[in-house]
Structure 1
Amino acid sequence: MSSISKSVLSRTSAKVDKELRASHAGETGAVWIYRGALTAEFLVSLVSFSRSPHKNNKALSVKAFASEHLQTEKTHLSIFENEMPTFRGSYMLLLWMIAGFLTGFIPRILGHNWFFYTIYCVEYFVDQHYEAQCCLLENVDPLPSEVLRKFRQCQQDEQSHRDEAYQAMTSTPSFTMKLWGKIVGKGSAAAVAVAKLI
């Protein structure tokens, strides 16, 4: 193999490595979003002694939603850790875990609509991010087809989560919620940029 070919393969490998690292960090954060939400749900259930049946149903739906989606995100994380080509993980995984936990915990404390809207915003960003990654990988030579297929698989799940979260909301988002949603989106974008590098 010529030195030029080795150089091209090295650059290709570095590109794929960055994308795998960013998505692995994101899936790690996603697992912790739902752990944070379930922790908040437990605390809310302890202090809410006088719930109406309607409110109790909403609380149960948050628990069911978070529990189900936590399992999906664990599956995604397992794909990155066990089925993808070897890559260097982010050195800041602990930070992504803490950020994920708070991203699930805080809105759930504020209410079920806050939680569902947060998930909608996160998954809206993740869908766009996976799409950008897939477009990038489609132009890499040699084409990492197995990586691309698994990215698309994860993307479809995230699109489903986004739509489910939006449908679970019982009112339109307030101005404050929309502001929070923008912070979540910008924070997610910043996290991706940092995870690619560190």
Structure 2
Amino acid sequence: MRGVIERSNAYSVYLERELRSDHAGETGAIYIYKGIIAIVKLRKDQELISFAKHHGATEAEHLQLIESIFEAKHRSCLLGPWRIAGWLTGAIPALFGRKAVYATIDAVETFVEQHYQQQIEYLQKNGSHDDLLKLLIRCQADEINHKNEARSKVVSPRPLTLRLWCALVGGGSAVAVLLARQI
């Protein structure tokens, strides 16, 4: 295909960039849950500890799946900052309690669902990389479950500060993807 440079792992430049952002995102997601756990352990909130451990394990599985198909040399150079940003994205709302945590997870997972959907549609349109398509569909389904679980625990209406926080989280996720695609 004209304009597409195939890499040693047989992914186009576009897919390489998308996988780089997926790898960075799943790394950050693991740290979101680590940040939640760090704070809620102090409060001994077993519901949130269980929630974060369960979801964090799923994110770790996603990261392993992506690492199994995506060469280390093509991964983001910014994994340190992604870990810190992820940890803070989990820890900050945990300081304010369950409602803030669940709303944050809803915001993050809503973004991730859409991000994966764009990649799924690209692969379906181009009819290539069936294994990658299956992996992304599987990861997206897990993220949708995380979103739905978190959303079911958030009571409405959300206060303005929480809506602003969630908008910041969604916007920050979009910026992180743009950066991870490049670096």
Q: Same fold (TM over 0.5)?
A: yes
- The CA deviation at 1:86 is 2.8
Task: Note if 1:189 corresponds to 2:174.
Answer: yes
Task: Note if 1:153 corresponds to 2:138.
Answer: yes
CA distance in 1 between counterparts of 2:91 and 2:162 reads: 15
Correspondence for 1:180 among 150, 165, 178: 165
Residues 8, 121 of structure 1: alpha-carbon distance in 2 compared, 3 angstrom cutoff: closer
The percent of aligned pairs where both chains have the same amino acid is: 39
Name the structure 2 match of 1:51.
none
Further displaced range: 63-72 or 131-140: 131-140
Q: Which SS does the other structure have where 1:172 is aligned? A: coil
Q: How does 1:130-169 map to 2 (within 5 A)?
A: 130-140=116-126, 143-169=128-154
Deviations 1:136-184 (A, max 9, x none): 222336x111111101100000000000001122453111100000000
Q: How does 1:27-176 map to 2 (within 5 A)?
A: 27-45=26-44, 59-82=45-68, 84-86=69-71, 88-140=74-126, 143-176=128-161
CA distance in 2 between counterparts of 1:132 and 1:15 reads: 12
Name the structure 2 match of 1:56.
none
Instruction: Give the partner amino acid of 1:165.
Output: A
Instruction: Could you tell me which runs of 5 or more consecutive residues in structure 2 were left unpaired when the two chains were aligned.
Output: none
RMSD over aligned Cα atoms: 1.8
- The CA deviation at 1:132 is 0.8
CA distance in 2 between counterparts of 1:100 and 1:35 reads: 8
Instruction: Could you tell me which runs of 5 or more consecutive residues in structure 1 were left unpaired when the two chains were aligned.
Output: 46-58
Deviations 1:48-79 (A, max 9, x none): xxxxxxxxxxx221111111111101100110
Q: Which SS does the other structure have where 1:115 is aligned? A: helix
Q: Which SS does the other structure have where 1:110 is aligned? A: coil
**Segments ≥4 residues shifted beyond 6 Å:** none
CA distance in 2 between counterparts of 1:92 and 1:192 reads: 11
CA distance in 2 between counterparts of 1:170 and 1:192 reads: 29
Task: Note if 1:15 corresponds to 2:14.
Answer: yes
CA distance in 2 between counterparts of 1:41 and 1:93 reads: 24
Deviations 1:90-124 (A, max 9, x none): 00000000000000000001111000000000000
Further displaced range: 61-70 or 29-38: 61-70
Q: How many residues align?
A: 179
Name the structure, 1 or 2, with higher relative contact order (CA <8 Å, separation 6+). 1
Q: TM-score, normalised by structure 1?
A: 0.85
- The CA deviation at 1:127 is 0.3
Q: Which SS does the other structure have where 1:91 is aligned? A: coil
